[in-house]
Structure 1
Amino acid sequence: MSGDSDGEDPVELGLQLLERLEHAELTLAETMDRIETVTTDPALVRKILDTADRRGIIEREDGVVRPNRSSFLSFEAEVITKEGEFTCRRCGVSISTGYFMNLEAGEHGPFGSSCIRKVTGRE
């Protein structure tokens, strides 16, 4: 998980993830938690944050990140459920039902049921 998510462009995937967050605001640490589901490479994490700020996807001020929410992730249409043996990208727990975000840059997951809600801001 250090470089990218299944061969997709990690920067675009990270940007699309930030575009779809439902949070009104997050701490920088909470934002990093979301981005690190895409990549743990510090240079790529910084590039995702800087690019998101430059494109107006987020606003950063004093350790607080505010997503400029244009559209939310539709759980009915854009979250795919698959059965199998998976490891959650956020918490590392073994799961038998994986939730995947179907983003334009690629499929992002798997996540467990509570982590998909946490990552997207539904919890």
Structure 2
Amino acid sequence: MAREDDPVELGVQLLARLEDAELSLPDVIDRIETVSTHPETTRAILETAERRGHIRRDGETVTPVSGRFLSFDSEVISRKGDFECRRCGASISTGYFMQLEAGEHGPFGSSCIRKVTGRE
């Protein structure tokens, strides 16, 4: 099990759970930037996810291949509070958090959690 403060492992687990059929590389980076905006970390997340077989890359196209989607019933929890969305930076009163093996990832607003997971 990875340490909870390991951004590479958290990012890899995020990419392993995407529901999109395929994404552009900028869309994948948009999701990775919810974990880290550091270029070396972004590259490490992409390379590790590809090496482990979670994604396939063909130029600017990324295809998730795991087929193991995040369950909104058991792996996404919501909390009331005063939060800032990790994706868009908006102030939110309900935060949605992904429960991944590498740790909790969030908070996200209601539309951003769907975007990050590939439900929208």
- TM normalised by structure 1 equals 0.93
Residue 116 of structure 2 corresponds to 119
Q: Does 1:82 align with 2:91?
A: no
Q: State which of 5, 23, 35 in structure 1 corresponds to 2:20.
A: 23
String of CA shifts for 1:44-72, please: whole Å, max 9, x gaps. Answer: 00000011111111000020000113310
Partner SS state of residue 76, structure 1:
coil
Alignment of 1:27-106 (within 5 A): 27-106=24-103
Measure how far apart 1:8 and its partner are.
1.7
Deviations, residues 6-29 of structure 1 (Å, cap 9, x unaligned):
x62100100000010000000000
Runs (5+) with no aligned partner, structure 2: none
Seq. identity, %: 68
- CA contact under 8 A between 1:18 and 1:58: conserved in structure 2? yes
Between 1:65-74 and 1:26-35, the stretch displaced more is 65-74
Asked if structure 2 preserves the Cα contact closer than 8 Å seen for 1:22 and 1:69, the reply is no
Counterpart of 1:116, as a letter, is I
* Residue identity in the other structure for 1:19: A
TM-score by length of 2: 0.95
Aligned mates of 2:53, 2:69 — CA distance in 1: 16
Structural RMSD (CA): 0.8
DSSP 3-state at the match of 1:72? coil
Q: Does 1:108 align with 2:108?
A: no
Q: Secondary structure at the match of 2:49?
A: helix
